[in-house]
Amino acid sequence: MMPMLTIAFALLSGAADLARVFVSPEPQSAPISFYFQNRHDEQSFMLLDDTGDVRPDVLKAFSHFVRCWRTEREKQMNPRTLEIVAAISRHFGDARIEIVSGYRAKPYGAPHSKHFLGRAMDIHVDGVPAKVVAAWVWKSFRNVGVGYYPKQEFVHVDSRDLDVRWVDTSQHGESAHARFFGRLPTDELPATAPLLAYDRARLAPVATASALATAPVAQLELKSTMNAQLALSTIQGILDEQTVR
């Protein structure tokens, strides 16, 4: 049997997302310019189609572009992560994106690195401080990991189940020293937050938060589980952390 709290979480976060269902991002109108730092490679990609989805053929080409620079191995990137990166470029005036790190093959990362899964990218947005980028991603999207590296001036972005953000003040080559923060599933995103096509396709309009409000037992259990989730996301963040670029 599916645990009641799992269902409650799904309903609650689904309800909050539904409120944003009409605030879809504009279709991508121009290719995004990318620069892969370690390979000194510059290429442009029209990542999204008219509905905001990542184009399958471009996903393949882009995955090759962000392949592991140490091993030349590649893996298909997570389309949701690419949508977030496209949204970042769009939000900051169709900015050029410098890629510090895309897919990384083992052992070049922490044991649970999202880079191994093709779900993470470390980026710098041309002309925009990393702090500003990290803050915008955190307030605009759920189901994300957002790492801010002030000394190295880049932002780590990934797609994951539990939201976590961190600030890592290490210099390049130093071991990580980061502070982690979670987020409650009840924290709502601003109405202006873009809704990813990837998420839109998976939203099912089946329940509202008010339905939960009339279920005292669910509320009570939800409260303790939210605290547990905060702790869990922090632990997950620590496990995922890495300094390898």
Q: What percent helix, strand, coil does the chain show, rounded to 5? A: 35, 20, 50
Q: Report if residue 104 touches Zn ion, rule: CB under 5 A.
A: no
| Contact call for residue 124 and Zn ion (CB under 5 A) | no
Q: Is 17 in the site for Zn ion (CB under 5 A)?
A: no
Rounded to a whole number of angstroms, the minimum distance from the CB of residue 199 to Zn ion is 22
- Please tell me whether residue 245 binds Zn ion under the rule CB under 5 A: no
Residue 165 sits in the site that holds Zn ion (CB under 5 A): no
Choose one: 60-68, 87-95, 150-158, 184-192; the region binding Zn ion (CB under 5 A).
150-158
Query: Quick check: 156 binds Zn ion (CB under 5 A)?
Result: yes
Taking Cα atoms as reference points, which of 144, 13, 32 lies closest to residue 80? 144
Q: Quick count: other Cβ atoms within 10 Å of Cβ 179?
A: 11
Report the nearest approach of Zn ion to the CB of residue 242 (Å): 6
User: Of 25-33, 155-163, 171-179, 191-199, which segment contacts Zn ion by CB under 5 A?
Assistant: 155-163
Mapping DSSP to helix (H, G, I), strand (E, B) and coil, where does residue 58 land? helix
Give the residues lining the site for Zn ion (CB under 5 A): 120, 122, 156
